Amino acid sequence: MIEKTIRGLGRWGLRIVRTMGSMALFLINAIAVTFQRPFKFRLLLKQIRFFGSKSLLVIALTGAFTGMVLALQLYYTLRKFGSEALLGPAIALSLIRELGPVLSALMVTGRAGSALAAEIGIMRISEQIDALVSMALNPFRYLIVPNILAALITFPLLTSIFDVIGIFGGYIVAVELLGLSEGTYFSQIDAFVDMEDIRIGLYKALSFGLIVSWVCSYKGFNTGFGAEGVSKATTEAVVLSSVLILIWDYFVGSLFM
Partner 1 sequence: MIEIRDISKSFGALKVLNGLSLTIAKGEIMAVIGKSGGGKSVFLKHLIGLLRPDSGTIEIDGIDIVTAKGQQLQRIREQFGVLFQGGALFDSLTVFENVAFPISEKTRLSKKEIAQRVTEALSDVGLSDIEHKYPAEISGGMKKRVALARALIARPKIVLFDEPTTGLDPIMLRAIHRLIADTHRKYGFTGVIISHEIPEIFDIADRVALLYEGRIEEVGTPSEFINSKNQVVRSFLTGGEDL
Q: What are phi and psi of 186, to 5 degrees?
A: -80, -35
Quote the CA–CA distance of 225 and 240 in Å, as a whole number. 20
Binds partner 1 (CB under 8 A): choice among 128, 184, 187, 222: 128
**How many CB atoms are located within 10 Å of the residue 67 CB?**
28
Name the 3-class secondary structure at 179.
Answer: coil
Task: Looking at residues 136 to 195 of the shown chain, list those that interact with partner 1 (rule: CB under 8 A).
Answer: 136-137
CB 108 within 8 A of CB 162: no
Q: Give the nearest distance from C-beta 184 to partner 1 in angstroms.
A: 52
Neighbouring C-alpha atoms within 13 Å toward the C-beta of 246? 7
x/- site string to partner 1, residues 74 to 113, per CB under 8 A? Answer: ----------------------------------------
250, burial (CB in 10 Å: exposed 0-12, middle 13-18, buried 19+): exposed
Q: Rg of the Cα trace of the chain? A: 21
Does 126 contact partner 1 by CB under 8 A?
A: yes
Quote the CA–CA distance of 215 and 221 in Å, as a whole number. 10
Name the segment binding partner 1 (CB under 8 A); options: 12-20, 57-65, 121-129, 182-190.
Answer: 121-129
Count of residues interacting with partner 1 (CB under 8 A): 12
Does 134 contact partner 1 by CB under 8 A?
A: yes
Q: Decide whether 90 or 122 has the Cβ nearer to partner 1.
A: 122
Does 127 contact partner 1 by CB under 8 A?
A: yes
Does 28 contact partner 1 by CB under 8 A?
A: no
Does 25 contact partner 1 by CB under 8 A?
A: no
Binds partner 1 (CB under 8 A): choice among 31, 32, 131, 246: 131
Does 53 contact partner 1 by CB under 8 A?
A: no
Q: Decide whether 2 or 135 has the Cβ nearer to partner 1.
A: 135
Spell out a b/e string for 100-115, using b for 16 or more CB atoms within 10 Å of the CB, else e. bbbbbbbbbbebbbbb
Residues contributing to the site for partner 1 (CB under 8 A) = 122-123, 126-128, 130-131, 133-137
